[in-house]
Amino acid sequence: MARPVTLFTGQWADVPFEDLCRLASEWGYDGLELACWGDHFEVDKALADDAYVERRREILDKHRLGCWTISNHLVGQAVCDFPIDERHRAILPSRIWGDGDAEGVRRRAAEEMKDTARAAAKFGVDTVVGFTGSSIWYTLAMFPPTPDAMIDRGYRDFADRWNPILDVYDEAGVRFAHEVHPTEIAYDYWTTVRTLDAIGHRPAFGLNFDPSHMWWQQLDLVSFLWDFKDRIYHVDCKETRTSFNGRNGRLGSHLPWGDPRRGWDFVSTGHGDVPWEDVFRTLNAIGYDGPISVEWEDAGMDRTVGCPEALEFVRRLNFPPSTASFDAAFGSGD
């Protein structure tokens, strides 16, 4: 089977689950990457009620959609983050936020990420995509001067908090695919290396490849895929366009999405600068056969335009590798 093309539902959390299934099916998607917010996939309900899981599958089947991945970015963010503040309160379920005590939030978030593995297994899904948060992201500018010991503590904090979570993933037979992303413990090439080192390269922890966050950092996407080929557990198609013109900076200047003064911005897949054909050819070369998930984020394009158009774009590039060497026929004669 060709790699299925799915739609990530995170930016559609305001649309009821069945309505979104109908839309995705009409557009021609093979399935959904279900976000654990809105009413798309609720971890607590999945564990408490067998009928909830069965009903979710029935709705997917009704619309001829599969599901290979669930995503719990928002809760995962709170596991390691520092500080915990009103930004987290805005994105977390009230049962995770509780009284807002920072360490309590982190511990409840960690338990929810364990439950996400259990719920995924119950749903018949073997991959959870998400964030980890980071206790040291705020030190990125390295001023005031940041001692090495402080960074070391940050990676130990990540390992201490996530190893018990990953133990549950191992027990459930589920993998966690961390999205390499600013504000996370792994946000570029070298922090990904150090993150994997911190947890001993255990197989339960891999990567969600999303080039949009790497492109504006000027990372080599092909090298990243090749070097971490055994850790690419999921792929998101999200797009970035850059505009570094001497005024627009790489850090975004605290400007909102869609503001033309930004040095980079998210655009619908196919409308930016990511070298997608290079990406897809490399996915073929490393043998990635999992879902290709379209993640729509574009402040300048309606999502009902961007999502079906992105599907057509991805379908054209999602070609299988050749089954024979093109020069094999040269030596086939007598």
Per-residue pLDDT band at 316 (split at 50, 70, 90) = very high
Structure tokens at 49: 């009620």
Query: Which residues, including other chains, have CB under 8 Å from residue 143's CB and lie 6 or more apart?
Result: none
Domains of the chain: which residue ranges? 5-321
Total-model pTM = 0.96
Instruction: Using the predicted structure, report yes or no on whether residue 1 has a pLDDT greater than 90.
Output: no
Class of domain 5-321: alpha beta
Q: What percent of the chain has pLDDT over 90?
A: 95
4 pLDDT above the threshold of 80: yes
φ/ψ of 127, rounded to 5, equals -135, 130
Q: What is the pLDDT of residues 17-60, one digit of tens each?
A: 999 999 999 999 999 999 999 999 999 999 999 999 999 999 99
Residue 329 scores a pLDDT above 70: yes
**Residue 75 to residue 134: CA distance in whole angstroms:** 13
pLDDT in tens, 276-291: 999 999 999 999 999 9
Q: What is the pLDDT of residues 225-277, one digit of tens each?
A: 999 999 999 999 999 999 999 999 999 999 999 999 999 999 999 999 999 99
**Residue 330 binned pLDDT confidence (cut-offs 50, 70, 90):** confident
Q: Residue 287 pairs with which residues in a beta bridge?
A: none
pLDDT of res. 324: 81
Give the DSSP letter string of 81-141.
-SS--HHHHHHS-HHHHTT--HHHHHHHHHHHHHHHHHHHHHHT--EEEE----SSGGGTT
Report how far residue 38's alpha carbon sits from residue 59's, in angstroms, rounded to the nearest whole number.
16
Q: What is the pLDDT of residues 75-129, one digit of tens each?
A: 999 999 999 999 999 999 999 999 999 999 999 999 999 999 999 999 999 999 9
